[in-house]
A and B are shown apart, each in its own frame.
Chain A
Amino acid sequence: MRVSANELSSQLAKALLGLGLPQGISRDASEMITWLELYGFETSIYVTNSLGLLEASSTVQSPSLAAADNRLTIDLQGDSALRSAALYLELAAAKVATVDKITVSITQCPDAFWLLGYLPRLVKRGMIVSADCPLPRDNERVSLSFDEHGSPILAERLESSDRLASDQSVIEVMLAPSLMKYQPISATNLASDEPAANECPAPPTEKPSATDNSQLSNETLNNRYQESLARGLSVSDELWAALKRYGENTLVEADEQSRQGAGPSE
């Protein structure tokens, strides 16, 4: 079925509220997922897995945070990125004005890719942002940077012959104040043995040997965005039913007395 972006975002937010996430977290998570869909990353098929992670809240340990120099490392202990990981990006954003750049590594997070959908918000607040992240599809990772409007301008998909171990799932986000000259993380940087000219740190994962380098231009991504708005977003019936089911946890059963709660209309 096809749904509008607003529909998807609203239903996701309701489902996440129904799972017990706070209002602000639910809103952010729903917008992250919707952003990735709008730009054609086709990640909605992984929403169900993330909802399962969120449902397993009783087994979740609190994230652990390590800060050293200009790097924040957050170990999410296997939890979903949808729960609170974006707040750690905000923590980095709070510190970025006082440093040249800051790198955020989020580890032990099976669905860290959702955080790509949060980054445009940081860009629109004046930061330079780039990110490198494995996608849930086998042997695939993406490298993104953004223009000043928050539109993705460079996305490279690489196939890695070295599949990441699940416990090394990681997203690396580089933040810099906008006045600084900065070179974003790129696949070229990752593939090279030479350090990047601006001292981008190598990602903690093993460097992939690029067997396929499909480059998506800003124009291509923006075209996808416009097409998504024009045609709607494709969502499986199963996912929609699951979102509705979770969302019903926020609704109250009706009876005659509750109908009076809306007042008489006639």
Chain B
Amino acid sequence: MNTPVATPRPSHGRPASLVMDLERLGSMSPSRLSFARTLLRSMVENRWSVDRTQFALDEQGFGEVIYRITTPHQQYHVVIFAQPLADELRTDRVIAEAWDVTFCLVEGEVDSALSASLAANIPLQEAGRQHPRVLVISRANKSVRNFAHFVAALSSGEQPDVGTLKRAGYLYRTTAVYGNGKFGIADYSRVQSNPDFSRPFSPQMAAVYILRQFSIDQVEHIARCQAPNTTVAMDRELQRYVGIGNSTGLGMAPFLINHPQLIHQWIANREHALRKASRETPTSEDIATLQQKLAVVRQYFDETWIEDPEQAKRNLEVINDIDWLSNQLNDYRPGQWSWNCLQESLREQAGLETQELFNSLLIDLYPACTDGLADQMAADESIELQPEMSSKALQQLLEDQCAWAIHSTYEAPDERFWFWYKSIEKEEPRLGERGVDSGSEKELPLAVAPALRALYQDLIAYRVNHADALAVEFAIDHPEHLETLRRAQTMAQTEFGEIRSNLWHEHMKPMHLLRAKLSFLGANRFDPKGDRWVRVTFFQGSPLLSEVNEGAIDSARLDDWSFALAPKQSNSGHP
């Protein structure tokens, strides 16, 4: 598949000044364009099959399991190692050195030599040297409470209490999922041309989806080993409600800054789908469908237990907003108003979370509005200098395109409060308080806004004596601005790549960066821990592997699981 070039679309929709506000980005919900959902649709449409080819676990569930993925093009294997882990060593931090489970997605066959190499290196993760046929490496830790409860319940002949999954919707949560050549695995340029995994993050999503099945298989196995005579299988509805958690911290934040063309492509496509959906004239059937969906979403937020009090409060606000929205829809008569009108009303009436939730639901309401877009989420990420641009034109470009950044001085204490850096401990990104924490001299160049300001100031000073200079001549004399200069030139041709926020600002919340990307990945159940970590859940409510293998899922069921509801259970735990 050719990589599409990030080109601006005719924009008659929402302006970048609105869409690229950091807090709004951090309020996004997953939609039909999210990568977890596009993966599952693709698996069914292309008739992938997955079978378990090795299941070598001891009675405690430790050992190795292999799942084979067969596509029309070739085969892959997800190889999973489960190992003992002392509770005091279990941490979600990047600096961890041991995990409950480590796993990988491998292209092609796993012969004995590769198997031995994987066994030696996958459990080491960053400390190992991985094989170039490995597309993804990752690791996960148990939700200890959920895991123990599930084993105990199943082994005693009972279904686990679904309430446990309302609190933490998973048995395992990943703490990093690596692709793109990390630690010796396959480069993205090799995966780009792979017809099965050419969409961004599709191999990562596939590996995580298989881990979900493993978590179910493992817990059933352990229960069977403990009590072979009384153990029952996990009910299918409960299986669907098991997702895979993910714990994400600042490690994800640089991605949003370092891949502006990709971010532009994702958001431009979402906005394009939203514009198309917004132009539809609401019919009575559309309203009825949306009402049903809102009822599901309302129940979802109502029954989802979130630990963070701020997020819990926001979820309550969403519920209130949904009630208001439902009333508006109840009163609708055909032709009375358009979706655009309703969106305008929401901007006045509802919080950002509800506004963006509604936009995701609107995109889902009209699946055709996303036709073709799922295959256009990659981007040409080359950032090249336009050397022949005059310095005068460059100055004009900065004034026209970067006004959001160049007019602040970044001298007030709150405007330069934070600095981003990488720790020597596994190169973990961290935030330091300027003037308090050490390391500011090694600051990461993530704050684009102050960099644009510095470029602009130096360019104006330069042009006093070099009015007719070219951009490249300025760059030769000021190489420290080269990266910012060509980024500004490149991003001037796009609409949505720059996050319009000062990442030094005291009130900047990194959480918004994380959540923006996670929504595109397809995560839900956002449960922040402070403003630098968040736990989310993937694939909760999604079709099971057996359903994907059967291929006999109706399109509504295949794709309609972003807001999974807990299966009903009797008091005894049986459905």
Contact = CB atoms under 8 A, between A and B. Distances in A.
Interface of A: 1-7, 22-25, 27, 84, 87-88, 90-91, 93-95, 97, 121, 124-125, 229-232, 248-254, 257-259, 261-266
B429 interface: yes
B423 A121 contact: no
Contacts, number: 158
Interface string B470-495: 11110110011111111000000000
Contacts of B189: 5, 229
Contact of A258 (B181, B439, B479, B480): B439
A264 B430 contact: no
Contact of A263 (B180, B187, B250, B471): B250
Nearest to A21: B479
Given A5-B187, A261-B430, A91 B476 contact: yes
Given A5-B189, A258-B437, A263 B533 contact: yes
Nearest to B130: A4
Contacts of B181: 4-7
B41 interface: no
B185 interface: yes
Interface stretch (B227-235, B401-409, B524-532): B524-532
Report which residue of A95, A230, A265 has the largest number of chain B beta carbons within 10 angstroms of its beta carbon.
A265
A25 B385 CA distance: 12
Interface residues of B, number: 61
Closest 6 CB pairs of A and B: A263-B532, A6-B181, A24-B482, A4-B181, A252-B439, A261-B430
A261 B437 contact: yes
Contacts of B182: 4, 6-7
B285 interface: no
A87 B476 contact: yes
Contact of B475 (A90, A121, A249): A90
Given A94-B472, A248-B424, A262 B387 contact: no
A259 B432 CA distance: 10
Contact of B445 (A23, A84, A93): A23
B425 interface: yes
Contacts of A265: 91-93, 247, 249, 529, 533
Report which residue of A84, A90, A231 has the largest number of chain B beta carbons within 10 angstroms of its beta carbon.
A90
B277 to A, nearest CB: 36
A258 B431 CA distance: 8
A250 B438 contact: no
Contacts of A7: 181-184
B496 interface: no
A252 B421 contact: yes
Report which residue of A22, A25, A230, A263 has the largest number of chain B beta carbons within 10 angstroms of its beta carbon.
A263
A24 B479 contact: yes
A24 to B, nearest CB: 3
Contacts of A124: 382
Contacts of A27: 483
Contacts of A23: 445, 480, 482-483
Contacts of B157: none
